[in-house]
Amino acid sequence: MSVLNPVLLPPNVKAYLSQGERFIKWDDETSIASPVILRVDPKGYYLYWTHQSKEMELLDVTSIRDTRFGKFAKIPKSQKLREVFNMDFPDNHFLLKTLTVVSGPDMVDLTFHNFVSYKENVGKDWAEDVLALAKHPMTANAPRSTFLDKILVKLKMQLNPEGKIPVKNFFQIFPADRKRVEAALSACHLAKGKNDAINPEDFPDSVYKSFLMSLCPRPEIDEIFTSYHAKAKPYMTKEHLTKFINQKQRDPRLNSLLFPPARPEQVQVLIEKYEPSGINVQRGQLSPEGMVWFLCGPENSVLAHDTLLTHHDMTQPLNHYFINSSHNTYLTAGQFSGLSSAEMYRQVLLSGCRCVELDCWKGKPPDEEPIITHGFTMTTDILFKEAIEAIAESAFKTSPYPVILSFENHVDSPRQQAKMAEYCRTMFGETLLTDPLENFPLKPGIPLPSPEDLRGKILIKNKKNQFSRLASSSKKPGVVAEGSCPSSVPVEEDTGWTAEDRTEVEEEEVAEEEEEEESGSLDEEEIKKMQSDEGTAGLEVTAYEEMSSLVNYIQPTKFISFEFSAQKNRSYVVSSFTELKASELLSKASVQFVDYNKRQMSRVYPKGTRMDSSNYMPQMFWNAGCQMVALNFQTMDLPMQQNMALFEFNGQSGYLLKHEFMRRLDKQFNPFSVDRIDVVVATTLSITVISGQFLSERSVRTYVEVELFGLPGDPKRRYRTKLSPTANSINPVWKEEPFIFEKILMPELASLRIAVMEEGGKFLGHRIIPINALHSGYHHLCLRSESNMPLTMPALFVFLEMKDYVPDTWADLTVALANPIKYFNAHHKKSVKLKEVTGSLPEKLFSSGIPVAGQSNGVPVSAGNGSTDLNLKPQH
């Protein structure tokens, strides 16, 4: 509610975008270049261009993934187009006029819309401002009313040559039941014939809403309205609406002093906004139709809008965050065959990922350019420098916080490694962090810098040799690495390490070198290893001086034991685990794994046998505090959907601050706890799936699945509604009991998934939302595609109720604390009745067995005043 919670404003469309600009749109495949006028509609829903023939093309802003200008925009390859743009003439300034808009339903299936402006630097402004619209948090998380308004705007934009709305467009937008569309048009006294057209002036916002109410009536909202409105009156007074807001739409856990309940004078503003009848507005009354639009508005968002913005403390050490991470980033399909693409680095970074992987291999003569590919498979190659260029362009478009490049380095050539390092230095420039920050030296016991400290920086994760070496120590004697120290005596870095630390590092490196020498030639045993769960990660080569010198805060090392890591206490050392190894460690030493992640970072990646690029569920490793839980971003399966949904929050920064129990050294956290977590109040979540709207383009029966992701001790049940009674996908209603998740141990680690399925199991849409970002009350839940893209039409209407968990043994005490007078009056009546039956009063008023604090393991809570923690243990 706006009177209770802040509401984010929609994006602002700059005037020049809606006024439009002349461009030439070109296509390499057809070699056609067409003059167009490019615009954004005033509400920021669509980017569209009009040809000289008046033909119009629309692009939904929510489908825009990137915009590019200058050298990063697409350049024509067709000789015909190059001649059109005079590209082969000197001083043509073509790059100053380019603009490319990238759109698509996922990160692989992309379309590039290419434009050239008539004036220089116009494309730069358009690229920046259109991308800002697409990235605005309210573009994808708009209220239900906005998505419905998008349909009206689209209808009024796509006019026929006579400037009218073709009726056939209604049938295309609402295809599930043509007869219902015709009936709704008739109810609004509009033409309904396939070849008819409607004057836009006859279809204002008020008529459009009447059309929707006729096409998709909401009897379930009428029932809610009836339970709160004045008896025998067809309206709610502002006092009734105030009562509804405070009883149903307000979080019962809120403190009434810090967050005062809504007042009638505040609610009058909502009536003025949503009530269609002017007379009702003057009288402070809300009609049933006004109630529908009120529940579709931003004040009733299912999300706490402030959680979409960067709201976490970004000044904690880097290892105190979950970091959005990608595995084998360059792949567009499976792990064994398929295309590799530098574009994937752009798309993954644009989605908010902060850790990408580069599998580097030696390039072939004559160029000897290092390549990126999946070794010993049939996947294609890309040039290393192309990937670095893509990363340099896209690294900070979505998030300003640090990017980690996880190198799996198989380039056993000092010269080619030097070339790789040079590309990093020249293309990344000052964004590349080559030296530790002054306040965070690489010493045992010193914490890592924070995301804020490292804002705008790129960090390299690659093997690091602690001493400069002669290249003669490599497997290619006689070849000296470019820029290496030509001395037979190792030169020590000023790290402040003890002699014991240096000796131990030398021993670790000798062990690694021996391991590499053993794998110098590819034999059957090696091939088997590559096909194992570890993949090629165990076959990395020596890091020569140039690459080694780029490594600082993310130094990979082979994991030995939790005890060894604790003893060394080096925050900058990171170990990588396959999902199987991480699962094994988690099952055997969960508390130690959590403690390890409090001190330093870990990376988990898919087992090598996932040749189809499927993913593991990341939740179990987040439960252990693992920071970089790397997934295959090209596969939009359930694990990836969960990852994308959660990292959409906190400003899509790619960093989510872990719960303090997973950060504080003085606290112990066991993710397998099934009872309670000290001083953390568990949550009870109840969800009632009431109805759906426009769930499918066909008339089908549908059902809804609801499940919770969280700690192992959380309720694991997956609920499912019955099939909708009829093949009605426009407004099905489910009249079922609420689904209850009684005890969510740590709400900060849990998320809720609600999915709509067609009869037979076909996916129609879903939404995954963190528990802590949910609002209590009646809400419209706008659904997403499998790749987390907003769907304009489908929505669910649900009732959510969140409370502090109260064990049964504390139920009476909770009631007594909530309303002592009411409780004791009721108790006195019971006592009087008991006296009548037994002939005497009970000895003690409290003989009914109200538990005393300390007699139960449950967490008592108070209701009414909003205090959520009566735990008697001291809080730190």
Could you give the residue numbers annotated as active site?
A: 327, 374
Alpha-carbon dihedral of residues 78, 82, 84, 85, nearest 10 degrees?
140
Cα 465 to Cα 140, 506, 575, 603, 814: the distances in Å are: 45, 9, 16, 20, 61
Strands (DSSP E) along 216-257, which ranges?
236-237
What distance in Å separates the CA atoms of residue 828 and residue 499, rounded to the nearest whole number?
78
b/e sequence 145-180, b meaning 16+ C-beta within 10 Å? bbbbbbbbbbbebebeeeebbbbebbeebbebbeeb
Instruction: Tell me: cis bond preceding 366? Omega within 30 of 0 counts.
Output: yes
Greatest CA separation for the chain = 111
Which residues lie below 8 Å from residue 239, measured CB to CB, with a gap of 6+? 264
Cα 151 to Cα 147, 187, 854: the distances in Å are: 7, 19, 58
The closest of 416, 340, 417 to 377, measured between CA atoms, is: 340
What distance in Å separates the CA atoms of residue 825 and residue 843, rounded to the nearest whole number?
17
Sign of CA dihedral 750, 616, 458, 789: negative
What distance in Å separates the CA atoms of residue 488 and residue 473, rounded to the nearest whole number?
10
Which residues lie below 8 Å from residue 213, measured CB to CB, with a gap of 6+? 289, 292
b/e sequence 11-44, b meaning 16+ C-beta within 10 Å? bebbeebeeebebbbbeeeeeebeebebbbbebb
The answer to whether the CB of 348 falls within 8 A of the CB of 635 is no
**How crowded is residue 410: how many other Cβ atoms within 10 Å of its Cβ?**
17
Residues constituting the chain: 876
The alpha carbon of 722 is separated from its chain's Cα centroid by a whole number of angstroms, namely 30
Which residues lie below 8 Å from residue 859, measured CB to CB, with a gap of 6+? 676, 681, 682, 804, 805, 806, 807, 869, 870, 871
Strand (E) or helix (H) holding 72? none
Cα 361 to Cα 194, 375, 540: the distances in Å are: 60, 8, 10
